[in-house]
A and B are shown apart, each in its own frame.
Chain A
């Protein structure tokens, strides 16, 4: 059986790319899926495409690109790659930074184990 985070520890530690510190999860707030780009011209879109932009999100089982906010700290939004099964954070990076390549990230995490 694969051990889950719940069995290993009671609190996650999240690395804030702005503070450059690894801090307890109580300081952070989840803020939805990352890399959702707002369409340049909403008026030209169909209702379905606009609905998809507003509401339809990936329901990932495994690595997921998501936004977090260090709300009780530097207050900055940043991006993270989190495995939704194990709750393991594969990487965190500053908002606006390019999306990291998932295959490279998984290989690095595997090596670090």
Chain B
């Protein structure tokens, strides 16, 4: 179960590499130090993503970010953050294996996601992300383009999410 194309939306499990949960104070000083350590912009607006050289930050809450990066960058990022720990107290937790990402692409992608997500996807801008709920399960949703989304759910919930998405995709194909 890694790809699926029985409907208008192409679904695939994505390899996301390293993923960290960052909690840090929101003073400009702390954020600037975190940006330097991470090597990509870190914004304080909920839903905003900062990208540079394969690394990406997504602001989930007032003091919570999820950082993603290629697998090879995992150790350097942890080391860089350990270096700012004394001056800027924070928590950086490696959650690479906690979640699995599903890429969704196709013109009907909002119709497919709307089967399980209650937020207004038409008003969800490209390049943004948020934590929300899909069919009762907490997920992190990112919109990369008008017809491309990425959904991340905790590992043990993924079989259910995947099943619901593939079934929904078949329903869309059949026009039900």
Question: Do A and B come together as binding partners?
Answer: yes
Kindly identify which residue among B47, B61, B118 contacts A75, using a CB–CB cutoff of 8 Å: B61
Residues of B within 8 A of A74 (CB): 46, 60-62, 64, 131
Contact residues in B for A26 (Cβ distance below 8 Å): 118, 133
Question: Measured between C-beta atoms, what is the minimum distance from A95 to chain B in Å?
Answer: 11
Residues of A within 8 A of B (CB): 11, 18-20, 23-24, 26-27, 71-76
- Assess whether A73 is in contact with B118, with CB atoms less than 8 Å apart: no
Which residues of B, 113-138, contact A by the 8 Å Cβ criterion? 118-119, 130-133, 138
B interface residue numbers (CB < 8 A to A) = 46-47, 60-62, 64, 118-119, 130-133, 138
Whether B64 contacts A75 by the Cβ 8 Å rule is: yes
Which DSSP category, helix, strand, loop or mixed, fits chain B's interface?
strand
User: Do the beta carbons of B118 and A27 come within 8 Å of each other?
Assistant: yes
Alpha-carbon gap, A19 to B133, bound state (A): 15
CB within 8 Å for A72 and B133 given contacts A11-B118, A19-B46, A23-B119:
yes
Q: Which chain A residues lie closer than 8 Å to B47 at the CB level?
A: 19
**CB distance A24 to B46 under 8 Å?**
no
For A72, what are the chain B residues with a Cβ–Cβ distance below 8 Å? 131-133, 138
Q: Contacts A19-B46, A19-B47: A76 and B61 contacting too (C-beta < 8 A)?
A: yes
Question: A71 vs B138: C-alpha distance in the bound complex, in angstroms?
Answer: 9
